[in-house]
Structure 1
Amino acid sequence: MPLTAVDNPLTLRLLGLLVEQPMHPYALAVALNERYPYLHAKNGSVYTLVRSMAEAGWVAPTGVEQMGNRPARTVYALTDQGWDVFQERVRRQIREAKVTTSAFVDALAYLGALDRAEAPRVLRGRLESLAERIAELEGASDPGLPEITMIEVGFVLHQLRAEAEWIRALIARIDLGELAWPAKGRT
């Protein structure tokens, strides 16, 4: 994963958190992992990105925070340039982000290579994985935040639920014999 702010996909989320309020890098890492637990962002990556964003002029120190015996931590806020970069990235990514081909879609293309009896079992394993991801995202929701703050979580949940529904229907079609199955060893 790139560790420069220009290239790293975490940058947009970090800038977004700083739109909400100034924070020190550790607080950013905690907030990032609480809001987006599926990212599994490393503290070191967040510190490096904040440093890169500061060097780029997108964030600037606003003071130092110290609580108890903990080390003093530099608090960063978005600069005007950072706000402009944030808005432009939002515009560009909404407009231009490509739908990526996932490994699941690639493997799905060859589902017929599996035995007809095995395919539903494998697909049910996918359903279990989807159920876990859905539960994780539902647990990440904060009812105290306005929906627009985490609108992307709703979008991802919608996608995951739609995928699960499609897979359940596919399993039913396989189980009912509605889907023609290739001869063994041929897709």
Structure 2
Amino acid sequence: MPTTAVDNPLTLRLLGLLVEQPMHQYALAVALNERYPYLNAKSGSVYALVRSLQTAGWVTRTGVEQVGNRPTRTVYALTDQGWRVFRERVRRQLREARVTTSAFVDALAYLGALDRAEAPHVLRERLESLEERISELERAGGPGVKEITMIEVDFVLHQLHSEADWIRALITRIEDGELAWPAAEGRA
């Protein structure tokens, strides 16, 4: 859990969208959900985070926009400080962020605690979830979106495809009896 609003995981993505072009808060929320549908970012969270980023001096108001009968909306852009913070966060996270999640790896370490017949079923459920996420990400972006602005989606897709392939192979190994399984003795 972030200790301050600017430590929110959405911060880097919001700043990144503002690198591309100044936007009002509602447009930021829409862009986040179009580009990263799995985040399910709420408008209220985006509005609060933009206010926090403004308080931190990372974004500033650049004007207002009104389309038709819609209410006027304040447009925000990165400040020079926001640009520096954004670039430093990109550097730091590229160097230091963990790619794997420990929860899955921890559970995988104890796969043998399941019955041999149950394990493929559980793994197939994960595989279905992975395939749904792959499908969702393959629809992200859209025409006219430059690859470099979605490069992280390509990376995640490669990871998910690799994980799905590995899980398919693991299921086959379990079902074919190729993978040694612990004896059921002493388990209830």
1:45-72: CA deviation from partner (whole Å, max 9, x where unpaired): 1101100111111111111111222211
Label 1:70 to 1:143 Cα distance change in 2 as closer, same or farther (>3 A). closer
Report the equivalent of 2:50.
50
Letter in 2 for 1:109: A
Would you say how many aligned residue pairs link Structure 1 and Structure 2?
Answer: 186
Label 1:3 to 1:28 Cα distance change in 2 as closer, same or farther (>3 A). farther
Report the equivalent of 1:90.
90
How far apart, CA to CA, are the structure 2 residues paired with 1:170 and 1:70?
A: 54
Report the equivalent of 2:40.
40
Confirm whether residue 164 of structure 1 aligns to residue 158 of structure 2. no
How far apart, CA to CA, are the structure 2 residues paired with 1:75 and 1:3?
A: 27
1:102-158: CA deviation from partner (whole Å, max 9, x where unpaired): 322221111111111111111111111110000000011324122111100001000
Q: Is the 8 A contact 1:3 1:48 kept in 2?
A: no
Letter in 2 for 1:153: V
1:90-113: CA deviation from partner (whole Å, max 9, x where unpaired): 111111113443322221111111
TM-score (norm 1): 0.94
How far apart, CA to CA, are the structure 1 residues paired with 2:137 and 2:102?
A: 19
SS in 2 for 1:6: helix
Report the equivalent of 1:78.
78
Q: Once superposed, what is the RMSD of the aligned Cα atoms?
A: 1.5
Label 1:5 to 1:87 Cα distance change in 2 as closer, same or farther (>3 A). farther
Q: How does 1:7-156 map to 2 (within 5 A)?
A: 7-156=7-156
Provide structure 1 residue ranges, at least 5 long, that are not aligned to the other structure: none
How far apart, CA to CA, are the structure 1 residues paired with 2:30 and 2:3?
A: 18
Provide structure 2 residue ranges, at least 5 long, that are not aligned to the other structure: none
Letter in 2 for 1:97: A
How far apart, CA to CA, are the structure 2 residues paired with 1:61 and 1:90?
A: 23
TM-score (norm 2): 0.93
Report the equivalent of 2:6.
6
